[in-house]
Chains A and B, each alone.
Chain A
Amino acid sequence: NAGVTQTPKFQVLKTGQSMTLQCAQDMNHEYMSWYRQDPGMGLRLIHYSVGAGITDQGEVPNGYNVSRSTTEDFPLRLLSAAPSQTSVYFCASSYVTGDTEAFFGQGTRLTVV
């Protein structure tokens, strides 16, 4: 049971480049989400999905795009990278109930130069 798998683990981008952060889970969780972690700011919700074909914005969605074509995968796209998007990105998944445990991936450390 792999849990939540994020790729890549590290990435350096130039300003203006685009890329996709991958997230896959094998627990048949309906709910998936993306957070960014910045020093002194905790984790902030970017986008989330309650099932295939359904996505919604979180607290900091600007500059990011998501889609959910399958239950297992929830990629995060950076459309035109900016230095302000330098951060550590975490994907999480859980069942669609509020009182359940969220499982987190190992994170992707992204640097935009």
Chain B
Amino acid sequence: AQSVTQLGSHVSVSEGALVLLRCNYSSSVPPYLFWYVQYPNQGLQLLLKYTTGATLVKGINGFEAEFKKSETSFHLTKPSAHMSDAAEYFCAVTPMNTGFQKLVFGTGTRLLVSP
């Protein structure tokens, strides 16, 4: 079975500051890992994903995440926050061996960006 833990339901940063959103996962088989972003009253949009290969993955809007197997983590970072980054972010996992996506989501982290 898979599960995802996102530490912090809300994270507040100032514009220009580093963004760090934490995600830890549990999976009995090698996982695929994803970060999705949700803007108000919208569906979810893929930010980035880890499948195989390079453990540091880059996504849209300057975000990146690093897969650390030893720490079972997939934290999301951005060097400099922008006001437009304010949204809710979801980490998700799916097992590598099912052949399709049964995404298990974390509870989400709302990013607040102040001027």
Count of residues in B whose CB is under 8 Å from the partner chain: 29
Query: In chain B, residues 59-115, which have Cβ atoms closer than 8 Å to a Cβ of chain A?
Result: 90, 94-108
Which stretch from A13-21, A70-78, A102-110 is at the chain B interface?
Answer: A102-110
A102 to B42, CA, bound (A): 14
Indicate if the CB atoms of A104 and B44 lie closer than 8 Å.
yes
Number of interface residues of A (CB under 8 A): 28
A53 interface hit (Cβ, 8 Å)? no
Complex Cα spacing A106 to B99, Å? 26
Type the 1/0 row for A86-113, where 1 means its CB is closer than 8 Å to any CB of B.
Answer: 0000101010111111101111000000
Q: Name which residue of chain A comes closest to B106, CB basis.
A: A42
A8 on interface, CB distance cutoff 8 Å? no
Over the window 23-49 of chain B, the binary record of Cβ atoms lying under 8 Å from chain A Cβ atoms (1 yes, 0 no) is: 000000000100010000111111001
Contact among B90, B102, B108 with A58 in the assembled complex (CB-CB below 8 Å): B102
Given contacts A102-B101, A104-B44, 5 further A-B contacts (CB under 8 A): A31-B100, A43-B90, A98-B51, A98-B99, A106-B43
- 8 pairs of A and B residues whose beta carbons are closest in the complex: A104-B43, A99-B51, A42-B105, A43-B105, A42-B107, A104-B44, A101-B46, A96-B100
